[in-house]
Amino acid sequence: MVPFNEVLFFALAAFVLVISPGPNMVYIISRTITQGRKAGMMSLAGVICGFLFHIVMVSFGLTAILFAVPVAYTILKVLGTMYLLYLTYQAIRPNGKSLFEVDENITIDRPRKLFTIGFFTNVLNPKVAVFYLSFFPQFIKPEYGSILFQSLELGVVQVCVSLTINFFIVFTAAKVASFFAQNPRWIKVQKWFMASTLLFLTIKMATSKAK
């Protein structure tokens, strides 16, 4: 099993990444604001199932890759570092939208469609696969036991973090969106806080070494 302190740090990384603007977050928030909490929860259910799909695929893939290609760790670390730098830039880029700035001109969808779109929005999002493939190896070590089990363990942690944060967002999206609309300065605070945390994670990943 992955040591508890490593799991806690991974949970922090998962937290920062789940609040980073992306297709999943935009979809959940937009449906919640325009169609209500039930629509947001149905959309969230689809997104979580998409995460489970990625976790199973990546867990078995990592087990094969890390055993077959020793240099794979370095390659994945470089990809992870580049990915986090990209997210850092996205958080503070000029004219970038806040997490809760969404287009309210969206058509009303049925529950089944909300779930399906949420699922495929996640499954077809290459950023999710890149995150798993590049970030998981930084916490997985052969001496901790089965690589497959460690991958699944981290996957469960990531899903729990994502579910908790997104569940909270579904129930507060409308209020938070209204708050940012009335207090635009806090949008900059949110962006720079996210960028600073992402930069810290980038530096840690770039300086980490295989054990």
Q: Determine if the pTM surpasses 0.75.
A: no
pLDDT at 103: 53
DSSP state, 10? Answer: H
* pLDDT band with cut points at 50, 70 and 90 for residue 13: confident
> pLDDT averaged over the chain?
76
Cα(90)–Cα(82) distance, integer angstroms: 12
| Over residues 59-83, mean pLDDT | 66
pLDDT at 60: 79
pLDDT at 209: 60
* pLDDT band with cut points at 50, 70 and 90 for residue 211: very low
Contact of 98 with 187, CB cutoff 8 Å = yes
pLDDT at 1: 82
Residue 210 has pLDDT above 60, yes or no: no
* pLDDT band with cut points at 50, 70 and 90 for residue 173: confident
* pLDDT band with cut points at 50, 70 and 90 for residue 48: very high
- Output the CA–CA distances (angstroms, integers) from residue 7 to 11, 55, 156, 209, in the order listed: 6, 16, 11, 17
Residue 27 has pLDDT above 70, yes or no: yes
Least Cα distance to 104 among 171, 35, 173 occurs for 35
Residue 45 has pLDDT above 90, yes or no: yes
pLDDT at 136: 79
Residue 96 has pLDDT above 60, yes or no: no
Residue 197 has pLDDT above 80, yes or no: no
Nearest 5°: the CA angle 110, 114, 118 is 170
| Over residues 132-146, mean pLDDT | 80
Each domain of the chain, given as residue ranges in start order, spans 4-207
